[in-house]
Amino acid sequence: MAHTRFEAERRSRARLRLAALLAVVVVALGLSSSSAMAQEHLAADDGGTETTDTGTDTGGTDDGTVEEPAETVPGVPDELLVRGADLYTATCSSCHQPRGAGLEGQFPPLIGNPNVQGQADYVRQVINNGRQGELVVDGVTYNGVMPAFSTLPDGDVDAIVAYVSNGFVTPAAVVEEIVGGETGNSLPGLANMTYLLAMLVAAGVGVYALAPRIVGQVDRLQMPWLDAWLKTAVIVVGFILATVYIPSEILKTDYVTRLGDFGQNVIGLGLWGGGLVVGIWALWYAHRDRRI
């Protein structure tokens, strides 16, 4: 009896070592392949980088999309314009819309607005002090209240003023990022697929090696420490997936987000409760069957 148990444990350890070795080899091959593909991708990008015209004509790309013109403002650093564009998007665009297009009858346009274009002092005053009362732009009367943004740091105000008062120019740095796309920051698709395949194979090998220890029946008085830790890890990860990760991912879907707060709360509560019930039932079943 003891000899049989010893032989079973020995075979289990041998299979575990073999599976671990295979997993390491597969991951290493996948990573090396991904690295090689990435280097080739970077080399191709370095050899074929396109420069961006800084003129004002709008051109077309090979795929039919329209490129933003690269614009500069004499005496204004591109870095300041880029920062101003980011701050405008975060602070102002919800009302005045991207690139100052405005909403007719509600929020006056800023692009082409003679009160704004080239009027840096006026723009700075409105940002710091706010504005209310009637305002006519392009024959449309606006009568609203703009709150003051007096808490904005002076540097942020300067950046927004530069971006808005100079006609919402698109700095060259931004255009290069749009036209060039992501170069050097991500692996090509095939390399990503190779890496993902390597990780999946490694995970499969790991499950194959560890499954007997995780789901096998145990002697509760003489359970090996590795089995105890593996079973505990599976229980913890399972509850996290069932009660946190899966509900949160479902709540992010477009269908659920359109239901409103009440619908989201009901679905979230149902998913959490369902995951908890399933987890508790799985624990009860595993304990009854002497798996834990």
Separation in Å, CA 83 to CA 88, 108, 154, 156, 272:
9, 23, 13, 8, 42
**Residue 221: left if φ>0, alpha if ψ -120 to 50, beta else—which one?**
alpha
Please give the pLDDT value at position 84: 86
Mean pLDDT of each 10-residue bin along the chain, 292 residues long: 56 60 58 53 48 42 44 71 88 87 86 84 89 85 85 88 84 51 49 69 70 74 80 88 87 78 86 91 86 76
CA angle 17, 21, 27 (to 5 degrees): 145
33 CB-side CA count, 13 A: 17
CA 149 to chain centre: 29
Domain boundaries of the chain, sorted by first residue: 2-41+186-288, 78-180
What is the rounded (10 degree) CA torsion for 49, 52, 57, 59? 20
Q: How far apart are CA 10 and CA 8, in angstroms?
A: 5
Structural domain 78-180, CATH architecture: Orthogonal Bundle (1.10)
Residue 188: its pLDDT value, please? 52
